[in-house]
Every structure is written in C-alpha cells, then in structure tokens.
Amino acid sequence: MSANNLAALSEAGVSIWLDDLSRSRLQTGNLVGLIKDKHVVGVTTNPTIFASALSHGEAYDEQVRELAARGADIDAVVRELTTTDVRNACDVFRETWQASGGKDGRVSIEVEPGLAKDTDGTVAQALDLWKTVDRPNLMVKIPATVEGLPAITRTLAEGVSVNVTLIFSVQRYLDVMDAYIAGIEQAKANGHDISGIQSVASFFVSRVDTEVDKRLKAIGTPEAEALLGQAAIANARLAYAAYVGAFSTPRWQELAAAGAHAQRPLWASTGVKDPAYSDTRYVDELVVDNVVNTMPEKTLDAVADHAQLRGDTVSGTEEQAQELFDSLEQAGIDIDDVYDVLETEGVDKFVKSWAELLETVQGQLDKAKG
C-alpha cells in the first residue's frame, strides 16, 4: 500500500485528519504510526466513535474500576474516560501542532449531543471541556444548530478553538462563518491572543448524497436518475466558494492583519455509503488548498491504495455546482427539506450514540462494582 497518494494530498493543501480515536490506538502506538506513515495530522471524535471504542476490548477496564472505587457517577466516568483519551491524543500530536504553527495537530471533542438546542448549556460545557482537557491543541466541537450559532461566538470569545460540526447547507455555513468572525472580534476585544485560536467548519458530505439519492430514486424519472450521486460534491464545492467570499471581506482583512486565522472548511462524513460509488470519491473530488479532510481509517487506506488524485478539483467549479442544484430543484427535490432532515437526523444519531455510550459504561461500572 502506497502512502504517495496521501503525501500528494497533503502537498495539495489538504490536511488529513483521522475520524476515529480509541484507547487501543493510543496504547498500541497505532496513532503514532499513522502520523509517521500516513500523513495524519489531526483527529476528530464524536459520540458514535466513543460509543464504539468503549464497547470493544478491555482498554478502559482499569480506569473504570478506579473510578468505580472512588464512587464516580456515570456522567463523571464518561467525561473522565473520553477526556483522558483526548488529552493523550493531544500530547501525541503536540509536535505536529508546533510544527504547523498551531494549524494542525488538533484533536476534537464534542459537547454532549443533548445540548444541541441549548445555547447556555453548550457554552458552559465547551468551556468546561477546554479546562478539563487543558491542552492548547484541543478543539471543542459545537453543532451548527440555530442555538449552536451564538454558542460558537461566545466560546470563541473566551479564546477557545472550535470545530463547528453538523453543517449541511451553504446558508447555514454562511451563518457559521459569521458566528466565527464575530467570535474572533469579541476574543480580540476581550484581550485574547487571536493568533492562537483555530477553527474548522465541518461540512458533511456523504449524507447529502444518501438523502438526495433516496429522493431521486423515488421520483424515478430519467431526469432524476441522471442526477444521482452528484449533490454532495456540488454542495461542498459551493461551500468552498462561500468560504473564499467570507474571508475576503474588509471586515475579515482587519482581523487577519491582527493575526487571526480563517476558519478552514473541513470535509466530514467522507466514508462512501453507497457501494455503487468509488470509495475515494469524497477525497478525489474535494482537493483544494487550505482544507481538512477527516477520514475513517478505511477511507484513509483506500486513498493510499487507489485514489484518483488530479490536483485541485474545487476551484472554478461554482457555476457548474449551482447548475446541478437548479436541476435538482427542477427534478422535484426540496433541498431545504433535505438539509432540515439531515440536521435533525444528525443530532438524533449522536443522542442515540451518547445513550449507548452511557449504557456501555454503566455495564462496565456494574461489573467493576460486582
């Protein structure tokens, strides 16, 4: 398996982050190996990833036993287990963080998904996670719900680096960038060193195709069938054009002159769900300078093995992408409804994963006490 594709991707300006973390990755040196051999320069986590990590193997047993002996409750145990992994991963990436001037070497941890509609609760937990992990290369993940937008601004205003997650529409992405810029302005006013704050905006890719394709197949006309598998990439390309626009305004230039960093787009949900499509398409088709692509290891391996990289596949595609959305509308796709459904589903999936995580840990606690 060749890492040349991964090197080429990095050279094209795409930061490769792993969309996974577990204690066994940390203990076995697997994560160190991915940094060394696979050009991985960051890690993202979410409730589903932690639910999976904690339900496999015995890597967490000892810490669970210690916490059980101290009488910790379920929420405290989950917080301790997840923040320990994230803190240790931050330490593994410290050199990467330093070498990239703080741009990469980042590890993300998400606020509890049940807080997605609670602005104050999100801010309180984001600041608490920042203090608990206590590493400068942490990013706290906040969902881009309507209630999440002011939470993003307020968290950034405290000097905390933020990974905004669950973005599906370009309109919401514009709101996110606005929330980011306002947060940086407030951080500056609050006396924080804004050159130390980094942020990414996680724009979800594959789920858009899953939902749009399902609707196109239900419509079933030749015109609809001809549009299959194109919405997600066009959506992300329009997002990139919005990013270029948002960070070229006089308002932003003033902050940039004071040391602020533009909030990079991050392509999330890049594992391909439909076996009819190439398993590297959400990497091949979204190559452009100054973005992040966070991949499950399966996608990372597929890219190393057989990616069809051909340089920048995003710049100059805005008009074509917009034409596709016009065609989707003509075919009968209500794209705003697609985005609403995806956001609701996204929050619900993470809430469900969080419940599974609590259930798994409760089982481990009971065993430790037994």
* Active site annotation includes 298: no
pTM of the predicted structure, to 2 decimals: 0.97
pLDDT at 1: 43
Q: How far apart are CA 346 and CA 206, in angstroms?
A: 12
The CA–CA distances, whole Å, from 215 to 230, 326, 344, 368 equal 13, 16, 17, 48
Q: How far apart are CA 167 and CA 265, in angstroms?
A: 10
pLDDT at 232: 98
pLDDT at 2: 58
Q: How many CA atoms lie within 13 A of 213 on its CB side?
A: 15
Six-digit token pair at 354? 């969080």
SS3 for 49-100, per residue? HHHHHHHCCCCCHHHHHHHHHCCCCHHHHHHHHHHHHHHHHHHHCHHHHHHC
Q: How far apart are CA 115 and CA 362, in angstroms?
A: 21
pLDDT at 250: 97
The CA–CA distances, whole Å, from 202 to 12, 254, 280, 361 equal 19, 25, 18, 28
Helix ranges (H only) for the chain are 4-11, 23-28, 30-38, 47-55, 61-69, 74-92, 94-99, 119-133, 148-157, 170-189, 206-219, 222-225, 231-246, 250-257, 281-284, 297-306, 318-330, 335-369
Q: How far apart are CA 23 and CA 46, in angstroms?
A: 14
- Per-residue confidence of the chain (370 residues) as pLDDT tens digits? 456 999 999 999 999 999 999 999 999 999 999 999 999 999 999 999 999 999 887 899 999 999 999 999 999 999 999 999 999 999 999 999 999 999 999 999 999 999 999 999 999 999 999 999 999 999 999 999 999 999 999 999 999 999 999 999 999 999 999 999 999 999 999 999 999 999 999 999 999 999 999 999 999 999 999 999 999 999 999 999 999 999 999 999 999 999 999 999 999 999 999 999 999 999 999 999 999 999 999 999 999 999 999 999 999 999 999 999 999 999 999 999 999 999 999 999 999 999 999 999 999 999 888 7
pLDDT at 368: 87
The CA–CA distances, whole Å, from 166 to 38, 163, 253, 302, 328 equal 26, 10, 27, 24, 22
Q: What are the residues whose beta carbons fall under 8 Å from the beta carbon of 167, sequence distance 6 or more?
A: 144, 173, 176, 201, 202, 203, 204, 239
pLDDT at 3: 67
Q: How far apart are CA 42 and CA 129, in angstroms?
A: 18
pLDDT at 369: 82
Six-digit token pair at 267? 């392509």
Q: How far apart are CA 57 and CA 306, in angstroms?
A: 31
Q: How far apart are CA 116 and CA 144, in angstroms?
A: 8
CA-closest candidate to residue 169, choices 208, 116, 141, 200: 208
Q: State the catalytic residue, choosing from 36, 103, 117, 141.
A: 141
Q: Are 277 and 229 in contact (CB under 8 A)?
A: yes
